[in-house]
């Protein structure tokens, strides 16, 4: 029955072609008629009576600087045999601004995106999902991952992991042609964009819903989830193992000296380490011992990036004035962090953070009674261990007693195995996406202090090895770059510019991606704009990995091949007995 109704609606609107107005298409009846009939999308049963449709005429408003006219649409669906309703929410641009595009944005931390308006700037329909657990209203996965102690809510894990976004996209793409009354055979270009967990979510879509997307932009992805989340405890365990809890000011001073010393190694003194590999290979950390530091007393907010709602609440700390000199112990701690996690057998467990990055996970707490700095267990790692590994509904570990690098390795292994097909998100064979013409822009800040930059390089290399096993290195790079490019962002922090280094940051990636997908204009570099410091306003072309930037003078940057650099970014995780992609 619905098919017949739908056909009539399409015919009526098609007759009007592009002349349809927002008011004409933005009706409950039009959306209901456009819904895919149950059985069309296997596993998704839409509920027509749940549909809402409301036109928003922001373009007539004088208060909004960037205003659009669009249609807000919500609908609910169930998975056959299950009762939990899932809400999806779309914004459809006014017909006169629709450009045959569909856009999906990622979230961050344990939260999915809840803003459906991100596509309007591109003439794209966009959508968000509540994942069945009210994610649209801000409910984060860490609060619903457990049904109770010892009991994982797998529906929520899988929905967050990849399923909810994929289904939202499938439904939205099915509705769109009928909604506009356009020819359903015309191409609906579909894009994904996100950073941090949003980057991981993008990879989940490329790996699991390859048919749905034409282009994906993934920044600093929080993939290799089991390792990545536990790795947040590496700094705390390093402090405990060394028996040294540094005053924050001491590490800040080491970071500042590192930046000042390594800045020129890339050929240009601009306050930015564009080559953290040259810094790693050449900087003598011991030379900083004895350098005085001073920081005034502060009341500050946490450096945490809100990976988990609990982390956001532990925000305000008071610190006394810190006055001292860089110690051998402080240097030993930084050396350990730059080396990355190694177990008691001398095997590598995980990648290190890049030289020049800050050390957010090292944060210590001032004990006003003893006057000493004490261990402060980062909830970024602690909460993941309690809720996702120990399956206890508390928001952090209460102590790290008897926790060693070997313990962290065991936790990583437990999490990797448990969430291998939901959150790990490192499937390396992307043939379905590649063979249908999909394009990927993957970027990562080279001073990321939350997700190590080398994590992205490791995955890029895994895809290269798995997909082009018989090609030489150079041949396989050429093959891979024709559809998947990785860019390191000089000096950038985690999914953002870095207050310590005035480097470039890519902010018009969608324009580059649209050109690549719709106009076959393949990017060689990626636009990175500098917005502070001596070179504010400059647009740099970030180098596609494995090429590395080097300035031949203060104004000319070349992308060069440097085997030593590539080798310094290459790691084998021999602590694990199965391949780690």
Write out the residues near Ca ion by the rule CB under 5 A: 263, 266, 268, 270, 272
Distance (Å, whole) CA 361 – CA 300? 16
We find the least distance from the C-beta atom of residue 144 to Ca ion, in angstroms, to be 45
Distance (Å, whole) CA 47 – CA 32? 9
We find the least distance from the C-beta atom of residue 559 to Ca ion, in angstroms, to be 15
- Which CB sits closer to Ca ion, 361 or 446? 446
Kindly calculate the radius of gyration of the chain based on its CA atoms and give it in whole angstroms. Answer: 25
379 is catalytic: no
* Beta-carbon contacts of residue 230 (< 8 Å; ≥ 6 apart): 381, 384, 385, 389, 408, 411, 412, 415
- Which CB sits closer to Ca ion, 205 or 276? 276
Say what the alpha-carbon torsion angle 464, 469, 474, 475 is, to the nearest 10 degrees: -100
- Which CB sits closer to Ca ion, 446 or 461? 446
- Which CB sits closer to Ca ion, 237 or 489? 489
**Closest by Cα among 526, 496, 524 to 511:** 526
- Which CB sits closer to Ca ion, 221 or 502? 502
461 is catalytic: no
Tokens found for residue 133: 């657990």
Distance (Å, whole) CA 302 – CA 309? 13
Whether residue 145 contacts residue 152, with contact meaning beta carbons closer than 8 Å, is answered with: yes
Pick the catalytic residue from 361, 448, 449, 461. Answer: 448
Tokens found for residue 559: 């992308």
We find the least distance from the C-beta atom of residue 268 to Ca ion, in angstroms, to be 5
Q: Before 546, cis peptide (omega within 30)?
A: yes
* Beta-carbon contacts of residue 279 (< 8 Å; ≥ 6 apart): 258, 261, 262, 265, 273, 355, 356
Pick the catalytic residue from 76, 182, 196, 565. Answer: 196
Q: Where are the alpha helices (DSSP H) in 72-138?
A: none
We find the least distance from the C-beta atom of residue 532 to Ca ion, in angstroms, to be 14
Distance between alpha carbon 292 and the CA centroid of its chain, in Å?
A: 37
Distance (Å, whole) CA 197 – CA 192? 13
Whether residue 196 contacts residue 109, with contact meaning beta carbons closer than 8 Å, is answered with: yes
We find the least distance from the C-beta atom of residue 266 to Ca ion, in angstroms, to be 4
- Which CB sits closer to Ca ion, 180 or 505? 505
Pick the catalytic residue from 376, 490, 494, 565. Answer: 494
374 is catalytic: no
Tell me the catalytic residues: 196, 448, 494
């Amino acid at each position: 029955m619905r098919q017949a109704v739908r056909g009539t609606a399409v015919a009526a609107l098609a007759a009007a072609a592009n002349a349809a107005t927002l008011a004409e298409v933005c009706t409950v009846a039009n959306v209901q008629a456009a819904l895919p009939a149950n059985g069309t999308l296997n596993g998704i049963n839409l509920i027509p009576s749940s549909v809402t449709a409301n036109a928003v005429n922001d373009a007539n408003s004088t208060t909004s600087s960037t205003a659009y006219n669009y249609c807000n649409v919500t609908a609910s669906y169930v998975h056959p045999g299950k009762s939990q309703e899932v809400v999806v929410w779309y914004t459809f641009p006014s017909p006169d601004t629709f450009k045959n595009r569909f856009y999906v944005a990622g979230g961050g931390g344990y939260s999915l995106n809840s803003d459906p308006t991100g596509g309007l700037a591109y003439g794209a329909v966009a959508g968000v999902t509540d994942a069945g657990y009210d994610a649209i209203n801000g409910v984060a996965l860490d609060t619903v991952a457990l049904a109770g102690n010892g009991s994982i809510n797998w529906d929520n894990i899988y929905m967050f992991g990849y399923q909810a976004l994929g289904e939202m996209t499938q439904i939205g793409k099915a509705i769109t042609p009928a909604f506009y009354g356009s020819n359903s055979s015309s191409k609906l270009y579909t894009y994904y964009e996100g950073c941090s967990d949003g980057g991981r979510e993008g990879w989940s879509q490329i790996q699991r819903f390859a048919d749905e997307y034409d282009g994906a932009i993934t920044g600093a992805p929080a993939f290799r989830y089991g390792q990545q989340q536990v790795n947040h405890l590496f700094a705390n365990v390093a402090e405990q193992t060394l028996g040294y809890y540094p005053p924050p000011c001491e590490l800040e001073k080491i970071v500042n000296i590192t930046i000042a010393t390594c800045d020129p190694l890339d050929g240009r003194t601009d306050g930015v380490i564009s080559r953290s590999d040259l810094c790693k290979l050449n900087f003598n950390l011991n030379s900083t011992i004895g350098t005085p530091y001073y920081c005034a007393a502060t009341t500050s907010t946490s450096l945490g990036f809100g990976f988990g709602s609990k982390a956001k609440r532990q925000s305000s700390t008071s610190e006394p004035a810190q006055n001292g000199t860089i110690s051998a112990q402080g240097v030993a701690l930084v050396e350990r962090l730059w080396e990355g996690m190694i177990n008691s057998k001398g095997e590598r467990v995980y990648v290190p953070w890049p030289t020049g990055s800050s050390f957010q996970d090292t944060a210590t707490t001032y004990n006003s009674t003893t006057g000493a700095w004490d261990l402060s267990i980062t909830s970024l790692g602690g909460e993941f261990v309690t809720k996702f590994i120990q399956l206890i509904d508390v928001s952090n570990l209460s102590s790290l007693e008897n926790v060693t690098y070997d313990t962290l390795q065991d936790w990583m292994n437990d999490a990797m195995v448990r969430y291998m097909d939901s959150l790990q998100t490192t499937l390396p064979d992307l043939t379905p996406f590649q063979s249908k013409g999909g394009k990927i822009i993957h970027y990562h800040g080279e001073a990321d202090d939350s997700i190590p930059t080398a994590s992205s390089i490791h995955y890029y290399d895994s895809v290269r090895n798995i997909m082009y096993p018989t090609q030489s290195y150079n041949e396989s790079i050429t093959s891979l770059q024709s559809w998947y490019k990785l860019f390191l962002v000089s000096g950038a922090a985690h999914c953002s510019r870095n207050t310590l280094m005035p480097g470039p940051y890519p902010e018009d990636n969608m324009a580059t991606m649209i050109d690549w997908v719709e106009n076959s204009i393949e990017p060689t570099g990626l636009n990175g704009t500098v917005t502070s410091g001596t070179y504010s306003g400059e647009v740099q072309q970030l180098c596609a990995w494995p090429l590395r930037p080097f300035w031949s003078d203060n104004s000319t940057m070349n992308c060069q091949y440097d085997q030593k650099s590539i080798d310094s970014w290459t790691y084998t995780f021999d602590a694990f007995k199965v391949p780690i992609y």
